[in-house]
C-alpha cells in the first residue's frame, strides 16, 4: 500500500466512514453495535446474510460456548432476546479431568454463586439472530457477494481514505476498514500486518452426538496426551424431546484424526464413548464428522493505515477453552466504545489515538488468554511422570480452593 491516489468518491459505488469486512459472528456484532451510531457504516461479506433460518431438526456441528460478558453485550444490543427464543443450553456445571491420572476439577454455578457458567448455542442460531437485527437497521448498508481483492490508500478533500476493490470490480471507500474476515483474513494480509503463528499439529474433529444418559446441563472436558476432548451439552428442543445431545470438539494429532475419520460410525462411537470414560453412558449416534486444522495466530499490532483488526482476523485461539468468539466480542465492545467516543470528540474513526486506545484495551488480554491455552497444551501434552504427577496434584488441589475456582470461572466468563 505505498502509492497514493486521488479519488473522486462520486466515482466509487459507495463511501463510508467505517466499512466492516466480514459478516461472521464478530463483524455482525460490530455492525449491530455501530449501525445506529451516526457513522455511515457498511458491512461487506462474500456470502449473503441469512436472516431467515428455517428451524431444522438437525444440529449445527459448529457451536459456541458464550460467556456472561458476551451475553451482556448481546443483551445491550437487543439480540439476546432473539437468541433465547431458539435452542440454547445454559450450562450449570463443568467437569475437567486428566485421563492419565486421578486429578479432576469441577465447577458448579450454584457453589460459585453464578446463575450459570455459560451458554452453548449453535453458531447458525447466533448468526441468524445477528443478521435479523442487521436487516432492521436502516442506516446500515449491507454489501453481500462482495469479496475484497485489493485495498489502496486514497485522498479525497484532504482526507485519507482506503479504497476497497471487490472481485466483481465494485469499489468502495472508507475512512476506516475493520477486518472481521476471520483467521485467514485477506484484509490483514493486504494490510501487511505481521503475525505470530503456532501450528499445533492437531486437528479438531467436530460432531454432534446422542448419548444414552442425560447431560444435566454439565460440560465435560477430558485431557490426555493425545489432546483435549470436550462434550458441550445441547438443548434438545421440542422436536427432539427425550434425546440427550452434546456437541463434541476433539483435538487430536493428524494421524489419529485420519484414523478416526476413516472409522465406520459404530466403531467411532465406541471409541468416543471410551475416550470420555462413558461419563454419559454410550454414544448412541454421531452426526457426520467435520475436521479443522488447529493453529494459534496473533497479529503483532491491531491497526495500521486506516485498517483495524477484530476477532479471528486479530487472533485465533485453540478451541479447548471455547474462547474464540468470546474474545472477539470483547474486541467489539472495546472498539465500539472507542469509536463512539471518537465521534463525540469529533475525531476521525481511523485516528491513531482512537485505534491505539482500542489496541491497548485488548492486546494484553487476548495474549494472556492465548498464553494460558499454550501452557495447558504443553502441560497436558507432556507424558513425563513428573508432568503427569504435577497436573494431577494441581487439579486436585485447585478443586478444593473454592475462592480460586471462582476467580478462574470469572476469568473464563470474561467478568474480570
Q: What share of the chain is helix, strand, coil (3-state, %, to 5)?
A: 35, 30, 35
Interface with ligand FAD, residue 198, by CB under 6 A: no
CB environment 212-246: b (16+ within 10 A), e (fewer): eeebebbbbbbbbebbbbbbbbbbbbeebeeebbb
H-run or E-run covering 15: strand 14-21
> Closest distance between ligand FAD and the C-beta of residue 101, in Å?
26
* 2 exposure class (CB count in 10 Å sphere: 0-12, 13-18, 19+): exposed
Decide whether 74 or 388 has the Cβ nearer to ligand FAD. Answer: 74
In 253-337, the DSSP E strands lie at 283-286, 290-299, 303-304, 307-309, 315-316
Interface with ligand FAD, residue 322, by CB under 6 A: yes
Interface with ligand FAD, residue 191, by CB under 6 A: no
Site for ligand FAD in 128-147 (CB under 6 A): 146-147
> Closest distance between ligand FAD and the C-beta of residue 102, in Å?
27
In 10 A of CB 388, how many CB atoms? 18
Cell numbers linked to 357: 486506545
Q: Name the segment binding ligand FAD (CB under 6 A); options: 96-104, 129-137, 270-278, 324-332.
A: 324-332
Say how far apart CA 305 and CA 303 lie, in whole Å: 7
Interface with ligand FAD, residue 68, by CB under 6 A: no
**Contact flags string 1-30 toward ligand FAD, x per CB under 6 A:** --------------------xxxxxxx---
Interface with ligand FAD, residue 414, by CB under 6 A: no
Q: Name the segment binding ligand FAD (CB under 6 A); options: 1-9, 104-112, 323-331, 365-373.
A: 323-331
Chosen residue from 43, 65, 176, 335 binding ligand FAD by CB under 6 A: 65
- C-alpha angle 94/98/101, rounded to 5°? 135
Decide whether 184 or 353 has the Cβ nearer to ligand FAD. Answer: 184
Task: Determine the number of helices (DSSP H) and then strands (DSSP E) in the chain.
Answer: 11, 21
Site for ligand FAD (CB under 6 A): how many residues? Answer: 33
Decide whether 285 or 292 has the Cβ nearer to ligand FAD. Answer: 292
**Contact residues for ligand FAD (CB under 6 A)?**
21-27, 44-47, 64-65, 146-148, 180-182, 186, 204, 206, 249, 292, 311-312, 319, 322-326, 328
Amino acid at each position: 500500500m505505498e502509492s497514493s491516489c486521488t479519488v473522486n468518491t462520486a466515482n466509487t459505488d459507495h463511501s463510508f466512514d467505517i466499512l466492516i469486512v466480514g459478516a461472521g459472528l464478530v463483524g455482525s456484532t460490530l455492525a449491530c453495535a455501530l449501525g445506529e451510531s451516526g457513522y455511515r457504516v457498511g458491512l461487506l461479506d462474500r456470502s449473503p446474510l441469512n436472516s431467515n433460518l428455517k428451524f431444522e431438526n438437525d444440529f449445527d456441528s459448529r457451536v459456541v460456548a458464550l460467556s456472561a460478558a458476551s451475553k451482556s453485550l448481546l443483551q445491550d444490543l437487543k439480540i439476546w432476546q432473539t437468541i433465547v427464543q431458539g435452542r440454547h443450553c445454559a450450562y450449570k456445571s463443568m467437569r475437567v479431568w486428566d485421563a492419565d491420572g486421578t486429578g479432576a476439577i469441577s465447577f458448579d454455578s450454584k457453589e460459585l454463586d453464578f446463575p450459570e457458567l455459560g451458554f452453548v448455542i449453535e453458531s447458525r442460531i447466533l448468526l441468524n439472530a445477528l443478521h435479523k437485527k442487521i436487516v432492521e437497521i436502516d442506516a446500515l448498508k449491507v454489501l453481500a457477494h462482495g469479496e475484497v481483492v485489493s485495498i489502496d490508500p486514497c485522498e479525497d478533500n484532504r482526507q485519507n481514505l482506503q479504497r476497497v476493490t471487490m472481485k466483481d470490480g465494485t469499489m468502495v471507500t472508507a475512512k476506516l476498514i475493520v477486518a472481521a474476515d476471520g483467521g485467514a483474513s485477506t484484509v490483514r494480509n493486504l494490510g501487511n500486518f505481521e503475525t505470530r503463528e503456532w501450528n499445533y499439529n492437531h486437528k479438531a474433529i467436530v460432531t454432534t452426538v446422542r448419548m444414552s444418559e442425560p447431560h444435566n446441563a454439565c460440560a465435560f472436558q477430558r485431557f490426555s496426551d493425545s489432546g483435549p476432548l470436550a462434550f458441550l451439552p445441547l438443548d434438545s428442543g421440542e422436536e427432539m424431546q427425550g434425546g440427550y445431545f452434546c456437541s463434541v470438539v476433539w483435538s487430536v494429532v493428524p494421524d489419529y484424526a485420519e484414523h478416526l475419520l476413516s472409522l465406520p460410525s459404530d466403531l467411532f462411537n465406541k471409541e468416543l464413548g471410551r475416550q470420555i470414560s462413558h461419563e454419559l453412558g454410550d454414544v448412541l449416534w454421531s452426526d457426520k464428522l467435520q475436521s479443522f486444522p488447529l493453529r494459534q495466530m496473533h497479529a503483532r499490532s491491531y491497526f495500521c493505515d486506516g485498517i483495524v483488526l477484530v476477532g479471528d482476523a486479530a487472533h485465533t485461539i485453540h478451541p479447548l477453552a471455547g474462547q474464540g468468539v468470546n474474545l472477539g466480542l470483547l474486541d467489539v465492545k472495546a472498539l465500539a466504545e472507542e469509536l463512539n467516543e471518537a465521534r463525540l470528540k469529533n475525531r476521525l474513526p481511523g485516528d491513531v489515538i482512537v485505534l491505539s486506545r482500542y489496541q491497548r484495551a485488548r492486546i494484553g488480554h487476548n495474549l494472556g488468554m492465548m498464553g494460558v491455552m499454550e501452557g495447558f497444551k504443553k502441560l497436558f501434552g507432556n507424558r513425563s511422570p513428573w508432568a503427569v504427577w504435577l497436573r494431577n496434584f494441581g487439579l486436585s488441589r485447585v478443586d478444593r480452593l473454592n475462592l480460586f475456582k471462582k476467580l478462574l470461572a470469572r476469568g473464563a466468563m470474561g467478568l474480570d
